């Protein structure tokens, strides 16, 4: 009777971790999270983190059903994508709030009081919004005017020039009850320029 040599045990190769969708989700989530806090470039992060979350969720679902391995990578991708999405949402809310605040400030109407005092006679006064000032001549001082302005420079401008006879003049701009600028000038053809905030 012949003795056969025992067959060596069949070695089964360990299955390599494979989860293409989970890996894709991880990479997209990581890149999206890196880009999300960067101003302007962060816009690119929106589709990256959304796709990262979708691919990671599909990869995790496949891993849980035994159709793929490397479940940890899918979970990491999902976490990174959610964090990136949260940063994107925070940036979007902060940006909208900043735009709304600037818009509200630009469109806010301010109550402006222009006042000129001094002993000069026949002074030339230029006042109002910077791009559309109004011109007046005041034979005697004091002179004052109340207006409502809106725009970046709500206080506008107030410029006072003495005549040939000279004298002194003081200009004052008050915006919503707060004095924002005052200047004094004296002498012939002297000018006091006040600029509102």
Q: What is the CATH number of the domain that holds 156?
A: 2.60.40
Mean pLDDT, residues 43-48: 89
- In a domain? residue 147: yes
Listed in sequence order, the residues at least 6 apart from 122 whose beta carbon sits closer than 8 Å to its beta carbon are: 137, 138, 139, 163, 165
Higher-pLDDT residue of 41, 125? 125
On whether both 102 and 115 belong to a single domain, the answer is no
Listed residues 91, 106, 121: the one ending a domain: 106
pLDDT digit string (tens) for 50-104? 999 999 999 888 888 888 887 888 899 999 999 999 998 998 899 899 989 888 8
Report yes or no: 81 and 58 within 8 Å, Cβ to Cβ: no
Listed residues 75, 106, 137: the one ending a domain: 106
- In a domain? residue 13: no
Mean pLDDT, residues 34-63: 88
- In a domain? residue 3: no
Band of the pLDDT at 37, cuts 50, 70, 90? confident
On whether both 99 and 130 belong to a single domain, the answer is no
The count of domains in the chain is 2
- In a domain? residue 131: yes
- In a domain? residue 56: yes
Work out the number of other CB atoms within 10 angstroms of the CB of residue 84: 28
Residue entry with tokens 């924002």: 180
On whether both 74 and 117 belong to a single domain, the answer is no
On whether both 132 and 92 belong to a single domain, the answer is no
> Is the pTM higher than 0.85?
no
pLDDT digit string (tens) for 104-116? 877 778 899 999 9
Q: Is 97 helix (H, G, I), strand (E, B) or coil?
A: helix
Mean pLDDT, residues 129-139: 87
pLDDT surpasses 90 at 12: no
On whether both 56 and 72 belong to a single domain, the answer is yes
Q: How far apart are CA 5 and CA 107, in angstroms?
A: 95
Report yes or no: 191 and 158 within 8 Å, Cβ to Cβ: no
On whether both 181 and 114 belong to a single domain, the answer is yes
Phi, psi angles (nearest 5°) of residue 79: -65, -45
- In a domain? residue 2: no
- In a domain? residue 132: yes
pLDDT digit string (tens) for 137-194? 999 999 999 988 776 667 788 999 998 888 999 999 999 889 999 999 999 999 999 9
Band of the pLDDT at 6, cuts 50, 70, 90? low
- In a domain? residue 101: yes
Listed residues 73, 106, 139: the one ending a domain: 106
Give the residue numbers spanning the domain of 157: 109-195
**b/e burial code for range 96-126 (CB count within 10 A of at least 16 → b):** eeeeeeeeeeeeeebebbbbbbbebeebebb
């Amino acid at each position: 009777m012949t003795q056969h040599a025992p067959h060596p045990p069949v070695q089964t190769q360990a299955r390599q971790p494979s989860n293409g969708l989970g890996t894709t989700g991880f990479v997209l989530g990581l890149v999206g999270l890196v880009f999300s806090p960067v101003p302007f470039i962060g816009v690119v992060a929106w589709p990256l983190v959304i796709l990262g979350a979708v691919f990671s969720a599909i990869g995790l679902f496949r891993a849980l059903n035994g159709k793929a391995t490397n479940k940890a990578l899918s979970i990491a991708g999902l976490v990174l994508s959610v964090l990136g999405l949260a940063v994107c949402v925070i940036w979007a809310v902060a940006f909208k709030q900043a735009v709304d605040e600037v818009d509200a400030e630009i469109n806010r109407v301010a109550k402006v009081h222009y006042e000129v005092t001094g002993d000069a006679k026949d002074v030339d006064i230029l006042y109002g919004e910077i791009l559309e000032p109004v011109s007046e001549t005041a034979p005697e001082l004091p002179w004052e005017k109340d207006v409502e302005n809106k725009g970046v420079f709500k206080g506008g401008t107030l410029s006072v020039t003495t005549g040939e006879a000279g004298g002194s003049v003081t200009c004052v701009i008050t915006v919503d009850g707060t004095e924002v600028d005052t200047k004094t000038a004296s002498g012939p053809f002297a000018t006091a320029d006040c600029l509102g905030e």
